[in-house]
Amino acid sequence: PTGVAALNVKGQTIHSFFNFYVDVTPQKIKEKTIKPRWDKTRLYKRLDTIIIDEVSMVRADLLDCIDVFLRMHGPDSDRPFGGVQMIFVGDLYQLPPVVTSQERAIFSSFYQSPYFFSAHVMESAPLEIIELEKVYRQKDPDFIDLLNRIRNNSLEESDLERLNSRHAPALHPNDPGSENGLFISLTATNRIADEINDAKLRDLKGRFHVSKAHIAGDFGKEYFPTSTDLQFKTGAQIMLLNNDSKKRWVNGSIGIIEAYQKDEEGEYYLDVALQDAEGETVQVYPYTWELYRYSLDEGVIVTEPVGAFTQFPFRLAWAITIHKSQGKTFDHVMIDIGQGAFAAGQMYVALSRCTSFEGVYLKKRIRRQDIRTDYRIHEFLTGYHYRLSESEMPLKEKIVFIQKAIREKTRVKITYLKANDTRSERVIIPLRVGEETYLGKAFPSLKARCLNRGEERTFRVDRILKMEVSEAQD
């Protein structure tokens, strides 16, 4: 959905690939107000698979636009998305699609939610969800569990107290000589981030330097990875925006500019002291980002560069917005939510950027209302798991399985979907099947001894996603 995300994987934005205008609608595509580029008509016919990254940020109406377009110009007009296989990648509990206040009323009359899964095409295009369970950014299991409870908005008071133990208003977060290393402030708004960066840059002694970008070919503003006129000083804290070919830094690495000078051939470069454990000082030269377009060459889909943007690969980084931090990893963060979190997933994204709990510092204490999730995501994911479970083992079969286990005194391993949409693996000894009522609604229940907890528990049978005889029996 975004230019920078597309640039990093040598892809294209949705709007660019389909030749959509900013105000694209399904109706405009049907009326042929929006047409495919003449040089891509054969490519659309040959499409097999499209991968959309950061799908949490894709609006429902945009997905319907893709469907209408591909039905008109893709391989098969009678199938969803023109018969093209769609792969959606992303975390729905992160930042949501943007719907302006002016759009909200009219949007809600057409769609149940702004999320991609509320697109009308999804009614005829069933999903298969694959969940990646291994966490790479954090290593501490307690911190990972805490982040999952923030993600699902299932925090207890003890969790909130633990979070607020990182409240450190007196900390000077950007003292390069501190034992904690460099900090980056994550802010709720662009205004706060800009104010912090401007003030920090002014406070530095020394002269201003300006680096002007060189732009060649067709490289739209929406793809600019950094400013065309970078202002900086020696001592500035920056975030590098590319992956170094020698693997000395990655996109998101933090460092301090130590020098700005020319090499033997007269080309300017920066000496940057990296934040990482080695504290290495590296030479950073201007970097060229290439913009690619897709085309068809003798029946094969190929990419071709159509534009280039050359500039020093950094932005000032005493502060960036939480939105811009999505996808990044930092060792030390100062989270500044200003007047409070205002978007679902905002606090989860901010906290989960950090590699450790000890690396998190809070400018203000977190309130319970700052932990926000969208109930529509929960309904979508829970509904999916229910339908999948019902297709694999219908409710009646589950009850028959449980009753047999009770008669034979068999231990059963279950995968249970908790109310906050998290799943847990348990080994139980079923005792009896009955019926419980919650909020006026009856559901089949299972009384069992949970061997994980060492106590009797009541489970909703419809929330048992999987069950099998446990290998460990008396």
In a domain, 95, yes or no: yes
In a domain, 383, yes or no: no
The sign of the torsion formed by the CA atoms of 199, 203, 204, 206 equals: positive
Among 370, 385, 403, identify where a domain stops.
370
In a domain, 381, yes or no: no
Assess contact for 84 and 120: CB atoms under 8 A. Answer: no
Lowest mean pLDDT among 10-14, 27-31, 56-60, 351-355: 10-14
* pLDDT, tens only, 270-299: 999 997 657 789 999 999 998 887 777 766
Domain region containing 39: 3-123
Report the percent of the chain where pLDDT is more than 90: 51
226 and 87 in a single domain? The answer is no
Q: Using the structure block, give the residue that is written with the tokens 């528990």.
A: 457
Tokens matching residue 47:
């499409």
Three-state secondary structure string covering the chain = CCHHHHHHCCCCCHHHHHCCCCCCCHHHHHCCCCCCCHHHHHHHHHCCEEEECCHHHCEHHHHHHHHHHHHHHCCCCCCHHHHCEEEECCCCCCCCCCCCHHHHHHHHCCCCCCEHHHCHHHHCCCCCCCCCCCCCCCCCHHHHHHHHHHHCCCCCHHHHHHHHCCECCCCCCCCCCCCCCCCEEEECCHHHHHHHHHHHHHHCCCCCEEEECEEEECCCHHHCCCCCEEEECCCCEEEECCCCCCCCCCCCCEEEEEEEEECCCCCEEEEEEECCCCCCEEEECCEEEEEEEEEEECCEEEEEEEEEEEECCEEECCEEEHHHHCCCCECCEEEECCCCCCCCCHHHHHHHCECCHHHEEECCCCCHHHCCCCHHHHHHHHHHHHHHHHHHCCHHHHHHHHHHHHHCCCCEEEEEECCCCCEEEEEEEEEEEEEEEECCEEEEEEEEEECCCCEEEEEEHHHEEEEEECCCCC
Question: What pLDDT score was predicted for residue 28?
Answer: 87
Residue 306: CB partners within 8 Å, gap ≥ 6?
217, 218, 219, 291, 292, 293
182 and 330 in a single domain? The answer is yes
Residue 214: CB partners within 8 Å, gap ≥ 6?
308, 309, 310, 311
Q: Using the structure block, give the residue that is written with the tokens 């280039």.
A: 308
| CATH code of the domain containing 412 | 2.30.30
What's the structural domain count of the chain? Answer: 3
In a domain, 128, yes or no: no
- What is the C-alpha separation between 83 and 279, in angstroms, rounded? 51
Among 370, 404, 433, identify where a domain stops.
370
43 and 118 in a single domain? The answer is yes
Question: What pLDDT score was predicted for residue 10?
Answer: 75
Whether residue 366 has pLDDT greater than 80: yes
15 and 145 in a single domain? The answer is no
150 and 246 in a single domain? The answer is yes
- What is the C-alpha separation between 5 and 182, in angstroms, rounded? 25
- What is the C-alpha separation between 163 and 357, in angstroms, rounded? 9
In angstroms, what is the C-alpha Rg of the chain?
A: 26
361 and 412 in a single domain? The answer is no
94 and 145 in a single domain? The answer is no
296 backbone dihedrals φ, ψ, rounded to 5° = -110, 125
Whether residue 175 has pLDDT greater than 60: no
Whether residue 174 has pLDDT greater than 60: no
In a domain, 58, yes or no: yes
Among 89, 123, 157, identify where a domain stops.
123
- What is the C-alpha separation between 328 and 48, in angstroms, rounded? 31
263 and 181 in a single domain? The answer is yes
Edge-to-edge order in the sheet of strand 300-311 = 214-217, 300-311, 287-297
418 and 292 in a single domain? The answer is no
119 and 217 in a single domain? The answer is no
174 and 232 in a single domain? The answer is yes
Assess contact for 373 and 345: CB atoms under 8 A. Answer: yes
28 and 99 in a single domain? The answer is yes
* pLDDT, tens only, 39-96: 788 899 999 999 999 898 899 999 999 999 999 999 999 999 999 999 999 988 888 8
Q: Give the pTM.
A: 0.75
In a domain, 328, yes or no: yes
Q: What is the mean pLDDT of residues 214-221?
A: 92
In a domain, 377, yes or no: no
* pLDDT, tens only, 438-464: 778 888 999 999 998 889 999 999 999
In a domain, 272, yes or no: yes
